Chain A
Amino acid sequence: MIKYFIRRTLLTIPTMFLCITIIFFCLRVVPGDPALIMLGENATPEAVEGLHKAMGLDKPIWEQYLTFLNDTLQGDFGKSIYSEKSVSKQLIEAFPHTFNLALMSIFIACIIGIPLGIVSARKHNTLFDDGLRVVSLIVLAAPAFLVGIFLLIVFSVQIPLFPSMGVGNGFFEKIYYLILPSITIGTGIAAALIRFMSSSMIEEINKDYIRTVRAKGIPEKLVFYKHALRNSLIPVVTVIGLNMTGLLSGAVIIEMIFSRPGLGSLALDAIFARDFPVVQGSLILFMLIVIIVNLLVDLSYSLLNPRIRQS
C-alpha cells in the first residue's frame, strides 16, 4: 500500500506541471496590457515600454515562461498591480476562509446527506422515500446563489440571527459566521448525496454477501450499518471528493454574497480589475487544491477498499 501511496503522490507532479503551463499560456492570450492598466489609459508609450522592461514583458515568451516557472516553484507569484502587496501573502491570508467554508459545507452535506440517504434506502419505495426524493430534487434545482440570498434575507435581515458579512474572530465566532454560507453550499451537495448514498446502499443490500450475513442471524441493524454501509460508502467518498472541486466554484459566488474575504472574492475582484498576478496566483492555487483533493480522495478510497489497499 505504501508503494501505491508513493506512486499516486508522484503522479501529481506532471499533472501540476501541465496545469501551470496551461495557466501561463492562457493568461498571455487574454487581452489587456498589464502595464497599460497600471499606468492608466493616458500613459506615454515610453513609460509603458519602460514598465514592460521592468516586468520582463519585452523578453521572448519562452524566457518569460522559464522565469515564471522558476518563480512559481519558489512560491513567488509577484505583486498585485494595485496594492503592490505580495500575491502569495494575499493568497495565504484568503485561503483559510475558503478552506473553512469548504470544510464546513462538506461537513453539513455529510451530516444531512449520508443519514438521510441511508434512511431513504431502508424505506425504499415508501411515501417517506418519495417525499425525500421530491424535496432533494427541489433543493438540487435551486441555484446556490438564490438559496444564499434567500437565507441572507430571512435569517440575517428579517430575523437578525446570523451576521450578513465577514468571517469573525476566534473558533466559535468563525463557525457562527460560517453557518449561513455553508448551509447554502452544503444543502445543495447533501441533496445529491442523499440520492447517491441511497442508490449505493440499495445496490449493496441486494448483493450475495448480505444474504450470508442474514443467514448467520445477524440483526438487521448490523446488516445495514456494518456490512452494507462500509461498501456503499466507497463510491460516496469519491463523489464527495468530486464535489469538493465543484465546491470551489460555488464558494466564489457564495463568498461574494456573504462578503467573505476568501479566495473566491480575491480572484473575482482581481479579474474585474485585470490584476494579472493575482488572477494567475489564484488560478495556480485553485489548481493545486483540486489536485491535492483528488489525491486525498484516491488515498482514502484505497483505505476503505481492501482490494486496492493490499495490492
Chain B
Amino acid sequence: MGVLLEVKNISVGTRRNGEFIGILENVSFKLNKGETVGIVGESGCGKSMTALTIMGLLSKNIFVESGTVNYEDKELTKLPTTELNRLRGKEISMIFQEPMTSLNPSFTIGNQLAEVYKHHGNFSAKEIRQKSLEILSKVKISDPEDKLKAYPHQLSGGMRQRVMIAMALACSPKIMIADEPTTALDVTVQAQILDLINELQAGFNTSVLFITHDLGVVAETCHRMIVMYAGQIIEEGTVAEIFDHPSHPYTSGLMLSAPRLGSAIKRLKTIKGVVPDIDNMPTGCRFAPRCPYATDICFEKAPFLEKMSETRGVRCWHKL
C-alpha cells in the first residue's frame, strides 16, 4: 500500500491583534491507496478544519502556520489556486456536512454536475449529459433525466447529498473527503448514504477520509482511525486495535458513550465537561480538566503523541 496523501505537522490558526491563535496543532497522518481512514472527535475539535486545510478551502481569516500536505509530488498548502483547481474535484474531492446549503440554489442539478466534467476533461455536451446520467444512476437517484432539470430546493436532503456524492465521484477521484456526510440527515437516510459511500468506495477504489461523530460508522466503514481532541490527534491506530483496546482515556470515554451504530457522541455524553476554548488551552494535557486519570504531571507537561507500533500512536502520560 503506497502513501497517497501525507499531512505533516500541520498547524492552522487565526490571528487576533497580531497574535497567533492555534486551532490545529501539529496534525500529522497518512492516507494510503484504497484505504478508508476515519477522523472522530467531539464538535469543535478541528475535524472540518483538517479537511478544509487539505482542500485549500480555509476561510480568509484562517491560515496554515506551518507544516505540509503532500499529495504525489505536490505540496498542497503552497500550491497556487489555479493549480489546486486542477486537482480539486478531479483527484481530490469533498462532500460537506450541510447538504441543504451546499448546492447553488439558482442552477439546476444538471448544470452544477456538468461543471465538473467541463473543467476536468474535454467532453462534448452530449458526452457530458451521458456521463451525468450515468453517475446519477450510480448514486441511486431515480429519474435521473428529470433530476438533471431540477433545482436543489426541489430535492430532499438525502437526495441533495446523493447529488453531492455524484459530483464528488464524477471524475473517479483518488481521494474523497467526506465531512460528516450523514449528520444532517434522517437515520434511515443515513444508513442508505453510508451504504452508498461504502459501495462506491470499493467500486472506484477511492481512498476515503471519513469524518464523523459516530464511532459505530467508523467501525463499519474504516480501516484506520484518528481520534482528535481540541485540535490535536490524541490517538490513532487500526480500527481493530483501538476498538479492542482504547489506550487514551478520551477514546475510552467515547467508546463508553457510543457503543453502537447510529448513536452519535454528541447525544450520549458520558464524558463530563466540554472541549476547552481555543483562547484558553490548558498548559499540560488538553484533556486533563475532564480526565478521570489525571495526575500532577498531566496539568504541568503536555504529553506527546507516542508511537506504539507502525500504526498506533497515543498522546497520554498514563496509557490505559
Give chain A's interface residues, CB within 8 Å of chain B. Answer: 206-209, 211-220, 222, 227, 230-231, 304-307, 310
Contacts and interface: CB of A to CB of B under 8 A. Distances in A.
A214 B88 contact: yes
B85 A208 contact: no
A183 B94 CA distance: 48
Nearest to A226: B107
Contacts of A230: 104, 106-107
B93 A215 contact: yes
Nearest to A212: B102
B101 A231 contact: no
A219 to B, nearest CB: 6
Interface of B: 55, 57, 59, 81-82, 84-90, 93-94, 96, 98, 101-107, 115-116, 119-120, 151, 153-154, 164, 167
Contacts of A227: 104, 106-107
Contacts of B115: 213, 216, 218, 222
Given A209-B102, A211-B57, A215-B89, 9 more contacts: A206-B59, A209-B101, A209-B105, A213-B104, A215-B94, A216-B167, A227-B106, A305-B106, A307-B151
A306 B153 contact: yes
A216 B104 contact: no
A99 B36 CA distance: 65
Nearest to A229: B106
- A contact face: mostly helix, strand, loop, or mixed: helix
A220 B81 CA distance: 8
Contacts of A216: 88-89, 93, 115-116, 119, 167
A71 B311 CA distance: 91
A208 B98 contact: yes
A218 B116 CA distance: 8
A65 to B, nearest CB: 47
Contact of B88 (A217, A306, A307, A310): A217
Contacts of A231: 104-106
15 contacts: A209-B103, A216-B89, A216-B115, A217-B85, A217-B120, A218-B115, A219-B119, A222-B115, A227-B104, A231-B105, A231-B106, A304-B106, A306-B106, A306-B151, A307-B151
Given A211-B96, A214-B57, A219-B82, A307 B105 contact: yes
A212, A218, A230, A310, most chain B CB atoms within 10 A: A212
Contacts of B55: 215
Contacts of A208: 96, 98, 101-102
Contacts of A218: 85, 89, 115, 119
B191 to A, nearest CB: 24
Contacts of B106: 227, 230-231, 304-306
B148 to A, nearest CB: 14
Contacts of B57: 211, 214-215
Contacts of B151: 306-307, 310
